[in-house]
Chains A and B, each alone.
Chain A
Amino acid sequence: MQVQPEKVTAEAYSAADSELVAAVLRKDRKATAEFVGRFGDAVYRYLRARLFPNPDRLDDLFQETFLAAWKHLPTFRGESALQTWLLAIARHKVEDYYRSRLRQAEPLDKQSQNSPAREDEEGFLNTGLDDAKRNQRITEVLARLPESYALALMWRYWEKRSAREMAQLSGKTEKAVERLLARARALFRERWQSE
């Protein structure tokens, strides 16, 4: 079974997915290689974006995603495309990582309580940059923020988690997460203006 993803329709994808799942569960070594080969790029792109700017754990989370997928593959019911299911596993791995990093960043959060964020200035981000340059600048500024601030912003605005969800997942209070986000936005603004 050699399926070329670019040549199959969306409808055929489900059949291709279920064939591949069945073959991997039979421990067909070639199907297992195809499993990694077919979905590796999508999982990698997602993880790399979410571990930005410190991809130290990228290789580990990539492998852990596929190992977790293998472990849970018998429960895959085909209710979503296999790639969507794999990316959901990757998302769990990323959020576990965010949670652990934010817990370790506690002193920074406490420090932030003593210096309230300013969010009342208008127009500070209106630079007239085109989309590509603005996106590049956003990632450059983000890369220079303290890790906990960058993670908080990515979790909130790229993963689209609410402050309440972030609080539940990280074990912090909602207020603490909101404070962290406010500080992160404020420092982002400060760096944006100064660079």
Chain B
Amino acid sequence: MSDELEFFEKAFAEADPAGQPDLRAPARLKSQTFSRLALAQAESGPLLSIAETKASGHGLCFFEELARIAPFGEKFKRRNYCRACHARKLAEMMEKPPIYWGHCPYVEFQK
């Protein structure tokens, strides 16, 4: 093997930056991706209800908690509330959006 081929097989291959441990995905990108996933899920049928989501051990955000206790039917409690939330819009545009309440997925992406 020539020096050149050996260089590419070893040194060049070792320069692969794929393993950089300190590189993190932007919160904005995670937010956009979660929004698209939730939208795709909602388009194929209702989401898991807010009550079931809580029962499975997740905390609910302020708005979801309101929806959970609201005197509306099951269909209402399976809606994709994040779609209508201003936190989503902010988080999709800004790396550090001014969202300060707990259990919001868009806040979790910033951590």
Query: What residues make up the interface of A, taking CB atoms closer than 8 Å to B?
Result: 1-2, 23, 26-33, 35-37, 40-41, 43-46, 48-50, 52, 59, 62-63, 66-67, 70, 119-126, 131, 134-135, 138-139, 153, 156-158, 160, 185, 189
B10: min CB distance to chain A, Å: 9
Bound Cα distance from A119 to B7, whole angstroms? 12
Q: Which residues of B contact A46 (CB under 8 A)?
A: 18
- Given A30-B105, A48-B23, is A63 in contact with B32 using a C-beta cutoff of 8 Å? yes
Q: Which residues of A contact B52 (CB under 8 A)?
A: 26, 28
B residues 6-50 touching A (CB-CB < 8 Å): 7-9, 11-21, 23-26, 29-30, 32-34, 36-38, 40-42, 45-48
B3: min CB distance to chain A, Å: 4
Which of chain A's residues has its CB closest to B78's CB? A27
Bound Cα distance from A35 to B30, whole angstroms? 10
- B67-111 interface mask toward A, CB cutoff 8 Å, 1 = contact, 0 = none? 000000000000010100000000000000000000001001100
Residue pair B23, A67 in contact (C-beta under 8 Å): no
Which of chain B's residues has its CB closest to A154's CB? B16
Residue pair A138, B56 in contact (C-beta under 8 Å): no
B17: min CB distance to chain A, Å: 4
B46: min CB distance to chain A, Å: 7
Residue pair B108, A37 in contact (C-beta under 8 Å): yes
- Given A62-B29, A139-B15, is A27 in contact with B45 using a C-beta cutoff of 8 Å? yes
B87: min CB distance to chain A, Å: 12
**Would you list 28 pairs from A and B whose C-beta atoms are within 8 A, ordered by A residue?**
A1-B57, A23-B56, A27-B45, A28-B48, A28-B53, A28-B58, A29-B48, A30-B58, A31-B58, A40-B25, A40-B109, A41-B23, A41-B24, A44-B25, A45-B21, A49-B16, A49-B18, A59-B32, A62-B29, A66-B36, A66-B37, A119-B2, A119-B4, A120-B2, A125-B4, A131-B14, A153-B8, A157-B9
Query: What residues make up the interface of B, taking CB atoms closer than 8 Å to A?
Result: 2-5, 7-9, 11-21, 23-26, 29-30, 32-34, 36-38, 40-42, 45-48, 52-53, 56-59, 80, 82, 105, 108-109
Residue pair A32, B11 in contact (C-beta under 8 Å): no
Residue pair B25, A62 in contact (C-beta under 8 Å): yes
Bound Cα distance from A185 to B105, whole angstroms? 46
- Given A36-B109, A158-B13, is A45 in contact with B19 using a C-beta cutoff of 8 Å? yes
Q: Which residues of B contact A40 (CB under 8 A)?
A: 25, 29-30, 33, 109
- Given A46-B18, A134-B15, A135-B14, is A37 in contact with B109 using a C-beta cutoff of 8 Å? yes
Contact of B12 among A63, A70, A138 (CB under 8 A): A138
Residue pair A45, B53 in contact (C-beta under 8 Å): no
Residue pair B108, A33 in contact (C-beta under 8 Å): yes
Q: Which residues of B contact A33 (CB under 8 A)?
A: 34, 105, 108-109
